[in-house]
Amino acid sequence: MLRVERTERAVQKKDSIPTPRSKVLVLVDESNVSSSVRTAGRGLDWLKLRDFLAGPNTGRDLIEMVVYAGLPPAIPTWQDERDRKNKFVHWLRSNGFMVVTKDGAPAEEGYYKANVDVMMAIDALELSIEMRPDVVILVTGDADFAYLAIKLRRHGIRVEVASVAANLGHILRSAANDVIDLAPLFRTFEMINTREPGRERSSGAAATRKSIAGNHLSRAIALLARRFLRGSTQLILFRKVGRCLWIGLAMAR
């Protein structure tokens, strides 16, 4: 009888042990997600997005949410747009988001280009070494990140892609462990006027340039992945490769 009671107490004690909460790293392609929510005629509520992906009610602990944003060119004709974007970046940082920016370059009339894909991919590898997340959430619908998702998964990290599921291509969808559909969340955001003067260019000739950059991105990830998660001493290598690739892309443009 005593042995049975001890066994029951042991089982109850085991059941009372809380399940460890997953550590989550969220990386956001700001241009991509903003374009998606704008297409839905809504304004992006960044605080709701953060709570939806890794808030207190998700059973997960947010390590960091990093937003990658392109800035309008630092030239007089774009100064007003640049000032507005910088105010937005300041708001993000003051609300606990980590923000990485890149200066854009003029494209076709009324547009600019500021591709942050390479920065986001290199950081995904580097931060995964430093922070050791259980889950990486890529907030993007860009298929160029499919190879990154596969590489992270090969090293035991769960990868989830957050985007509008109906518009998500098969390549990125199949590369991730799971897809988080943002469409229901977008419908809770406020309606806006979608006619905005200055935007990053993502079609036509710029799309061709983006495709070329995507090929460079895949090769960079492959090179970095050869030494991925082999210790913090490799971080210097990551940074050197990233800088070299960045210079190459800049010259190509």
Question: Side chain identity at 24, as an amino acid letter?
Answer: V
Percent of the chain at pLDDT above 90?
Answer: 51
pLDDT attached to residue 119 = 93
How many other C-beta atoms lie within 10 A of the C-beta of residue 78? 17
Domains located in the chain, CATH noted? 19-252 (3.40.50.1010)
Q: Which two tokens stand for residue 16?
A: 């009372």
Higher pLDDT, 160 or 223: 160
HSE on the CB side for 84, CA within 13 Å? Answer: 8
Decide if pLDDT at 166 tops 90.
no
- Least confidently predicted of 143-157, 165-179, 186-200, 221-235: 221-235
- pTM attached to this predicted model: 0.73
Q: Encode pLDDT of 37-59 as tens digits.
A: 888 888 899 999 999 999 989 99
Structure tokens of 42?
């809504």
For 78-128, how does the pLDDT look when each residue is reduced to its tens digit (9 = 90+)? Answer: 999 999 999 999 999 999 999 999 998 888 777 888 889 999 999 999 999
| pLDDT tops 90 at residue 61 | yes
